[in-house]
Amino acid sequence: HTLLVANRGEIAVRILRAAAELDVRTVAVYEPADEASLHVALAGQALAVPSYLDTHRIVSAAAEAGCDMLHPGYGFLSESAGLADACDEAGISFVGPTASTIRKLGDKVAARQLAQQLGVPTAAGSAAPCDSPAGVRAAMAGAGIHYPVMLKAVGGGGGRGMRPVARDEALDEAFAACQRECAAVGLLGGVFVEELLPAARHIEVQLLGDGAEVVHLYERDCSVQRRRQKQVETSPARNLPSSLRERLFSDALAIGSA
């Protein structure tokens, strides 16, 4: 087997080292500025690409190098259904979720609806994207929620495309700012609104699936953040009741298995 690692930095290094332990041949890609990086030195072969976001060039590089697997790492194209589709078309195994899964959970409104169908609790919010501040106000009235609220990009993630709104006078500008950020980084169009829970903790459950079975790898607490960007992650999450921890696991597995 030959694996192309479509990333850089520590995640690329970790993947390359794990592949080496499994005697899997590796190929790295790099932007010109990263030519002297550690992940380039560790790989069995390294190919230059214009950008870590250039799906066509990365998949072409994998094909040229005879790769039968591609690992996206995290960030960059790791949540790109387009990359998963391109790998499938090229006969390369994408080490990650299927394109349909990425699309299903990448659309936050669709993901909320899926969770609700499975009986997983969600914060009160709009049932569809809002195309204007007036649409947000109407959605808030329909859901019975009041300020403070959080505006979120339908295709957001990693803290991107999110704006807290504490009062109605700030809604119009926050909506416009959210839309600008979505457009700047190419996020899936649309904005929706949820009630803001200021004292909530951010706890994630890690899942691992092989296309047939899904298991959890326990939880991590990502509540220490700056501007909605994680700064510190700890595991296990402290002061989390066992019953709630088990409920988080079961809910996560339900979504991951859907």
Percent of the chain with pLDDT over 70: 98
Q: Within 10 Å of residue 86's Cβ, how many Cβ atoms?
A: 22
pLDDT digits (tens, 9 = 90+) for 146-185: 999 999 988 877 777 899 999 999 999 999 998 888 777 6
Region 202-223 average pLDDT: 94
According to the model, what pLDDT value does residue 186 have?
66
Q: How far, in Å, CA of 249 to CA of 5, rounded?
A: 30
* pLDDT, averaged across the chain: 93
pLDDT digits (tens, 9 = 90+) for 1-25: 999 999 999 999 999 999 999 999 9
Q: DSSP secondary structure string, 141-198?
A: HHHT--SSEEEEEEEEETTEEEEEE-SGGGHHHHHHHHHHHHHHHTPPS-EEEEE--T
Q: Record the pTM.
A: 0.82
Reading the block at residue 16, the tokens are 């390359």
